[in-house]
Amino acid sequence: MRIAGSIFLAFLSPLSASFWAVYLLCGISDMLDGWLARRLHAQSRIGAALDSTADLLFVLCAGIRLIPFIVSDVDAWILWLAVGIAAVKLSAYTVGAIRYHRFAALHTMLNKLTGAALFLLPLFLWSGGFQTLCVLVEAIALAAAVEELLIQLKTKTYNANIQGVWRMHK
């Protein structure tokens, strides 16, 4: 559902009622899919890969539509920090791909927190403290990206559902 909704977002007028409705449905489906899979004992490697793919597609499609509004509300250094965080995240994916010969995104607690924070951030576009919220979300995202890179560099076997660096087995 999130993959189809994400693609649909790319064609909706940003900030319209239909855009926000699809945006919220995508976010709710993201929160429910993992929980339901665990509850119904329906977890699978394909499901985990689809979840990561859907997350990436959602961020890309929603981001493409929302970035013009976000860019106009924040200082340039905040945008450059986001680019740096993306570079660390891409480095973690690259290390995972090289070490495990697959797309190796991790579902750590910090990555989940980052996803929730990124999802909620656009809902506060018009709040007085939007720039401060951006910095807070970036701090969480940077910690998650560095943690993921560290895990990818240090672990011998791939575990998509590792909770965090404190659960890392060398």
pLDDT digits (tens, 9 = 90+) for 6-26: 999 999 999 999 999 999 999
Q: At what angle do helices 2-9 and 17-39 cross, to 10 degrees?
A: 160
CA separation (Å) from 17 to 12, 20, 42?
10, 5, 34
Confidence of residue 84 (pLDDT cuts 50, 70, 90): very high
Q: Locate all alpha helices (DSSP H) within the chain, ordered by sequence.
A: 2-9, 17-39, 45-71, 76-100, 109-120, 130-154
Confidence of residue 79 (pLDDT cuts 50, 70, 90): very high
Sign, CA torsion 29/35/37/39 = negative
Burial class (CB in 10 A: 0-12, 13-18, 19+), 149: buried
Rounded Cα distance, 23 and 20, in Å: 5
pLDDT in tens, 117-159: 999 999 998 888 899 999 999 999 999 999 999 999 999 999 8
Question: What's this model's pTM, rounded to 2 decimal places?
Answer: 0.84
Residues present in the chain in total:
170
Position 162 pLDDT exceeds 70:
yes
pLDDT in tens, 21-69: 999 999 999 888 878 888 898 888 788 788 888 988 998 999 999 999 8
Rounded Cα distance, 161 and 130, in Å: 32
